Structure 1
């Protein structure tokens, strides 16, 4: 019996640690990663081209980085934050949303839909940065959960000031908006 309860404690600790598995640190830059296939979507008129993207390019502006599995249910988790960002009307010269879509973490046979949806989103919000990751490159580099949404707020030097995985609460959404305003004012 004692052996069984020890095993239960060890298992519980393992699951607690795996639930908080990302390797993102506050006041540090995001772990370096490059997405070569497909990469960053670039709008040229109504046409989308792709180029390699690197996390090293995240400095220079205040950013909300949103990494999400290529699933509509995951996209919906933090739609409240996206709506709040749009309503805030941040200065595009100083702020940019960076959305990284993990197409490798999509429902089987929906890859073409995920890619098309990402392209439509880029055309609708050409000022936002959109990255399509076909190989879970970012998820692996940052040790993110599968089938999940990840949010980070970066200051203009690219250092993380807020980080969360999963659906943000209304208080957390307000915290992200307030923090972004504060960082923009600096």
Structure 2
């Protein structure tokens, strides 16, 4: 019995370490490429896709939201999205980048996730939306399943804030203040 408890504890600890993200403050976002589907583009009313790479995250201050393709993950940081809208950051200095892990969707909902991403691109054409069919970013960055990760990236592409899970009211304020500071 003692051996089983020890084995269970060791397994829990190992799996906990294995799921920790590898994103560090002050460092560039770890390299990741999304080839299937990729970044959504608009040509008139037609949505297309192009390969996306994390090395393209330079030139502007960004809030990156990497989310599972589940409504629960989207809702996890909905208050942050509302705060971003209210802040009305200038498009020439700021960009929101949403990376949706379609591979981490509830079985049978992948088509709905894709359709929702395309609708969002049409509604928020200035936003960068990446639909990651195979979960390449989540794998490369070691993100938790069924969750949401928020990052603030400076214009050089370095991470200035990172957290997985729901942000508190104080953390939302911290993110908005940090974006404003980085744009000065």
How big is the shift at 1:14? Answer: 3.1
Could you tell me which residue of structure 2 aligns to residue 17 of structure 1?
17
**SS class of match (1:84):** helix
Could you tell me which residue of structure 1 aligns to residue 66 of structure 2?
67
- Alpha-carbon spacing, 1:136–1:87, altered in 2? closer, same or farther (3 Å): same
d(CA) in 1 for partners of 2:135, 2:16:
23
Q: How does 1:28-177 map to 2 (within 5 A)?
A: 28-177=27-176
Q: What do you get for the CA RMSD once the two structures are aligned?
A: 1.6
How big is the shift at 1:115? Answer: 0.4
How big is the shift at 1:61? Answer: 0.3
**SS class of match (1:138):** helix
How many matched pairs?
A: 184
Unaligned runs of 5+ in 1: none
How big is the shift at 1:6? Answer: 5.7
How big is the shift at 1:13? Answer: 3.8
Unaligned runs of 5+ in 2: none
How big is the shift at 1:10? Answer: 4.0
**What TM-score do you get using the length of structure 2 for normalisation?**
0.94
d(CA) in 2 for partners of 1:7, 1:110:
36
Provide, for residues 22-60 of structure 1, a one-character-per-residue CA deviation record: whole Å limited to 9, x for no partner. 000111111111111110000122110111111010000
**What TM-score do you get using the length of structure 1 for normalisation?**
0.93
- Alpha-carbon spacing, 1:112–1:12, altered in 2? closer, same or farther (3 Å): closer
**SS class of match (2:34):** strand
How big is the shift at 1:142? Answer: 0.3
How big is the shift at 1:73? Answer: 1.0
